[in-house]
Amino acid sequence: MSEQNKILNDITSKEYEYGFVTDIETETLPKGLSEDIIRRISALKQEPEWMLERRLEAYRKWLTMPLPEWAHLRIPPIDFQEVIYFAAPKKSPDKKSMDEVDPKLRETFDKLGIPLEEQMALAGVAVDAVMDSVSVKTTFRETLAEKGIIFCSMSEAIREYPELVKKYLGSVVPYGDNFYSALNAAVFSDGSFCYIPKGVRCPMELSTYFRINAAGTGQFERTLIVADEGAYVSYLEGCTAPMRDENQLHAAVVEIIVEKDAEVKYSTVQNWYPGDAEGKGGIYNFVTKRGICRGDNARLSWTQVETGSAITWKYPSCILKGDNSVGEFYSVALTNNFQQADTGTKMIHIGKNTRSRIVSKGISAGRSENSYRGLVKVVPAAEGARNYSQCDSLLIGDKCGAHTFPYIDVQNPSAVVEHEATTSKISDDQLFYCNQRGLGTEEAVGLIVNGYAKEVLAKLPMEFAVEAQKLLSISLEGSVG
Amino acid sequence: MLKVKNLHASVDGKEILKGIDFEVKAGEVHAIMGPNGSGKSTFASVLAGNEKFEVTAGEVEYNGLNLLEMSIEERARQGLFLGFQYPVEIPGVSMANFMKLAVAERRKAQGKEPLSAGQMLKYMREKAAIVELDSKLMNRAVNEGFSGGEKKKNEIFQMAMLEPELALLDETDSGLDIDALRIVATGVNRLRSEKNATVLITHYQRLLDYIVPDFVHVLYKGRIIYSGGKDLALKLEKEGYDWLINDYKE
């Protein structure tokens, strides 16, 4: 018992590594939300009329919607009129090329370990970097264009590929889907757009890096990924933000469309600022991510490593419409100090012989609350559906909480749905064993946690997996005495 | 190497060790025997630094260092090894990775560079051979799904990897069949040298047929009540502890 108390008393958070602020001039719109602000966002982005109409429609819908309160989260009231909905790094007037990236910005991404060109070229990853509300640089566009792959910012996609955007945007997450998706549809500023044409295997990992920099600003990016018949792409997403005392809002929407015989792998390492050890500040991360396997034999896989944000509300989901389509969700969610996470997935089985697999690994430390919430739904027509779910929770200390809310809705008798759940603690015996072999306690905790999360980490692309492993250890530093 | 003076330790306010005096010199093998519940395992745990136990009095000097002031990991890095009676499982962490980290810490304390991946692999194979441990186990998670015998061999393998100066082997023989016992004992014997010392904690004489100790001690009710040479173990095997216990007044 005294050991447990000691662990708890010693809980302090390691300084957040990415908490710096880039001193760069930003153009912002006044705070608050109104039709006027939405018109100004649309105008700043030189959008066509139809896009503005869609935004306004979403805004009007949003006004009628109540805040979702069903999650196992304590969310302080948010004043949506206090948020700045658009901020962009100011472009120097003397730069002619739009592609020229401000050295300060480049420095920011270098600091984050995201060099936009040379190193990524070596690693073979194409990057779209989004700072505050706009995309600042997309690499490798020409190489990708040779294969007919489109990878650009959402703003450009709206201007240059309106037919594709019209066809797919909002087709998986309609604007009225939920409170935050409606808000996003009204004010989204930028994000990435990716289209892989029929039969093309994307030759490199595509990656978007999101950074919130400006104070008082919300980030509302929108990502749309379309894999046409027989296409393949692996997509990575990373996120960080400065340390600020205030809470900042992040309400993104990601939509993925997977056509017949196509495959999309979407990996996230989410490391938004989690707030300090007393629970002050941090990002509110209210994200809607959903993909549809539209055609037969389509495959969609979500892998997420969630270590940041003060509050996380996120359920990357798969609609398995095509026959024999496959949905997967692999998640590690780590909460420390006063962080709260309510995350999981939805697997909606519609097609015949559809299969889904859910592996969720929650890790709670400090006074944090970590919930898994998942829905497995099998509609009457989904003959032969299969689901396997595994939800594990690991507790560090005795002031944190882990919760599992599995919802299972099966309407076809041929379905086989399995659910396994475990809850464990890092035992004093494990720590003693590691210590006795010469490992320090923090190193031991990092090792045990990474071992626990291994099954999910193994699903990440190599370079991401290494980063995620380090991140898990760092996020727990100081959590054990 | 090790000097224990009047060591007292308790758990949850209950005193288990009641004044142990014990000395080990380099090159020696000691066996500590005694009936169940006499404090043998506690003694080993306390020397390793297990925080479950509170040291209430006494001194322990290890190679000139004040052992009781050192953290568990510091003791380990300085060459104190505890072979566990019940080795702990660490799911998802491969033996190879675990050993890589442990060996690196030990070498750092010795002022040596870490081994390269190739050297490490070779080193692991060499040491695994000493205890006839299947090197495929290196890719498995630490002790997970290991048989009882494999777990014990794995402890001696780790001892071989870490080249301790003082090895405390807690009931390493318990639960072993005769073949495994022979393999484990052979491993321990091969690791014996002029520079290191071994303390065997055991219930049974049979281990001492394979590993011949220089000294045998009887621990009873938290004190060492009798010490002798290797013949003492044989006598205990034949006559039990009663003759000693009856003599002993608390």
Q: What is the percent of chain A where pLDDT is above 70?
A: 80
Phi and psi at residue A100, in whole multiples of 5°?
-65, 125
| Residues near B102 by beta carbon (within 8 Å), at least 6 away in sequence | A437, A438, A439, B76, B158, B161, B162
Is 50 exceeded by the pLDDT of residue A95?
A: no
Q: What is the CATH number of the domain that holds B211?
A: 3.40.50.300
C-beta atoms of A451 and B141 within 8 A: yes
User: pLDDT tens-digit profile of A108-130?
Assistant: 656 655 555 544 444 455 667 66
Tens of pLDDT, residue by residue over A33-83, are 999 999 999 998 889 999 999 999 999 999 999 988 888 888 888 888 888
* pLDDT, position A50: 93
CA distances from A88 to A45, A91, A104, B109 (A): 11, 9, 13, 51
What average pLDDT does chain B have?
92
**Residues B2 and B197: beta-carbon distance below 8 Å:** yes
Residue A11 has pLDDT above 60, yes or no: no
Band (pLDDT 50/70/90 cuts) for residue A481 is very low
pLDDT above 90 for B195? yes
Residues found in chain A: 481
What is the average pLDDT across A12-24?
Answer: 59
Is B162 in Cβ contact with A438 (below 8 Å)? yes
Sign of CA dihedral B238, B240, B242, B248: positive
CB contacts of A457 in chain B (<8 Å) are: none
Q: How many domains does chain B have?
A: 1
Chain B's closest residue to A430, CA to CA, is B88
B93:A447 CB<8 A: yes
Each residue of B100-137: pLDDT tens digit?
999 999 999 999 999 998 899 999 999 999 989 888 88
Q: Are B17 and B30 in contact (CB under 8 A)?
A: no
Largest CA distance in chain A: 68
Task: Tell which wins on pLDDT, B44 or A238.
Answer: B44
Measured from the Cβ of residue B118, the count of other Cβ atoms closer than 10 Å reads 8
Contacts of B82 in chain A (CB under 8 A): 436
Phi, psi of B136 (to 5 degrees): -65, -25
Give the closest-approach CA distance of B147 to chain A in angstroms. 18
Is A428 in Cβ contact with B52 (below 8 Å)? yes
Tell me how close the Cα of A447 comes to any Cα of chain B, in angstroms.
7
pLDDT band (50, 70, 90) for residue A15? low
| pLDDT (average), residues A178-197 | 92
pLDDT of residue A8: 32
Section A180-208 average pLDDT? 90
In the numeric block, which tokens belong to residue A13? 């958070």
Taking CB atoms and an 8 Å limit, are A451 and B77 in contact across chains? no
Alpha-carbon torsion (B187, B193, B196, B197), positive or negative:
positive
Q: What average pLDDT score do residues B199-211 get?
A: 89
Domain-embedded: residue B199: yes
What pTM does this model have? 0.83
Best residue of A422, A436, A449, A454 to probe chain B, by most B CBs closer than 10 Å = A436
pLDDT of res. B248: 66
Cβ–Cβ < 8 Å for A261, A230: yes
Q: By the CB < 8 Å criterion, does B13 face chain A?
A: no
Q: Which of B91, B109, B158 sits opposite A437 (nearest CB)?
A: B158
**pLDDT of A301 strictly over 90:** yes
Structure token pair of residue A167:
């066809």
**Residue range A367-390: mean pLDDT, rounded:** 95
Provide the residue range defining the domain that includes B11: 2-245
Rounded to two decimals, the ipTM of the complex is 0.96
Q: What percent of chain A has pLDDT over 90?
A: 48
Predicted confidence (pLDDT) at residue A326 exceeds the cutoff of 80: yes
Q: How far is A5 from chain B (nearest CA, A)?
A: 13
Burial classification of residue B111, based on how many CB atoms lie within 10 Å of its CB (0-12 exposed, 13-18 middle, 19 or more buried)? exposed
- State how far residue B105 is from chain A, nearest Cα, in angstroms: 6
Two tokens, residue A277: 């050890």
pLDDT at A135: 61
Residue B101: what pLDDT?
94
What local confidence, expressed as pLDDT, does residue A7 receive?
A: 35
pLDDT tens string A232-271? 999 988 776 666 677 788 899 999 999 999 999 999 888 8
A208-212, A387-391, A440-444, B242-246: which has the highest mean pLDDT?
Answer: A387-391
- Residues in chain B with CB shorter than 8 Å from the CB of A440 are 73
Query: What letter would DSSP give residue A217?
Result: B
Residue of B46, B54, B71, B101 to mutate, interface with A, max A Cβ within 10 Å: B101
Partners of A83 in beta bridges? none
**Average pLDDT for A92-121:** 53
The pLDDT of residue A213: 65
Distances in Å between the Cα of B179 and the Cα atoms of B158, B183, B205 are: 20, 6, 16
Q: Which residues from chain A sit within 8 angstroms of residue B101, using beta carbons?
A: 437-439, 443, 447
CB contact, 8 Å: B76 with chain A? Answer: yes
Calculate the average pLDDT of chain A.
Answer: 84
In angstroms, the separation between the Cα of residue A428 and the nearest Cα of chain B is: 9
Quick check: is B178 in a domain?
yes
d(CA B246, CA B224): 15
Decide if B250 is inside a domain: no
Asked whether the predicted pLDDT for residue A429 surpasses 60, the reply is: yes
- pLDDT surpassing 80 at residue A90: no
